[in-house]
Amino acid sequence: MKIKGIKDVFFDLDHTLWDFDKNSALTFNKIFKMHDVAIDIDEFLSHYERINLDYWKLYREEKIDKESLRYNRLNDTFNKISFQADRTLINRLSIDYITYLSSFNHLFDYTLDILNYLKPKYHLHIITNGFKEAQESKLRNSNIHHFFKSVTDSEQAGVKKPNPIIFNHALNKVDANPKTSIMIGDNMEADILGALNIGMEAIYFNYLKTFAESKIRQINNLEELKLFL
């Protein structure tokens, strides 16, 4: 059922439009070869993906800083697989990971299709908890930057989703009204509840098909946005 009255559509970036897991795996494969890190990449990723999400939660909650996130997610994963890595190597890998991550630019299926579909009808925007320099590179290198009227990141706003300040910052920047705005993202806490709490509409991009309350609007692929917008 179409949602009426929407003028501004806000997207999360990582895990919503930009296929973070696929691009991240390719980046690790590259930098491990560069530094002769001889480990099973699949085993590494099976631990890293969960550990990374845990550290991002701590980062959202202002319990750790950016440097701690970047270092500890690698250190903890290496410990999990019993790989000995000193601080120098971890720091080097951490820097190279950010450097090369945006050189891989796989998007989720239907990303370009849905952005082309929405662009003539709405003002499109990004709200992301990612780091400014990395997110700008991802948008430009994947050739989707031009779709968006504005990009708001957590470093710019001074807080992270689901804090209402970042949503209000993004809305105020483009003179958008929460009652005529909608947020689309993959994180129930940060994207969906954060948006709903300030009076925006929201659609949960549940690409992993996990359990979610039926009262929350949700889609399993981006093409399904055409059912609502």
Q: Per-residue pLDDT for 112 more than 90? A: yes
Question: Residue 167 has which token pair?
Answer: 């949503």
Residue pointed to by tokens 């019993």: 82
Give the domains, in start order, of the chain with CATH numbers.
Answer: 8-18+107-227 (3.40.50.1000), 20-101 (1.10.150.240)
pLDDT over 90, % of the chain:
91
Q: Render pLDDT for 160-191 as a digit per residue (tens, 0 to 9).
A: 999 999 999 999 999 999 999 999 999 999 99
- 180 conformational bin, left if phi > 0, alpha if psi -120 to 50, beta if neither: alpha
Query: Which of the four pLDDT bands, split at 50, 70 and 90, describes residue 132?
Result: confident
Checking 54-61 for CB contacts under 8 A at 24+ apart, the result is 56/129, 59/129, 59/160, 60/129, 60/160, 60/161, 60/162, 60/189, 60/190
pLDDT value of residue 131: 83
Question: Residue 17 has which token pair?
Answer: 């439009």
Residue 47 identity: H
Residue pointed to by tokens 């939660």: 57
Preceding amide of 162 cis, omega within 30:
yes
pLDDT value of residue 130: 87
Q: Render pLDDT for 135-164 as a digit per residue (tens, 0 to 9).
A: 999 999 999 999 999 999 998 999 999 999
Q: What is the DSSP letter of 210?
A: -
Q: Within 13 Å and on the Cβ side, how many CA atoms surround 31?
A: 21
Q: Per-residue pLDDT for 93 more than 90? A: yes
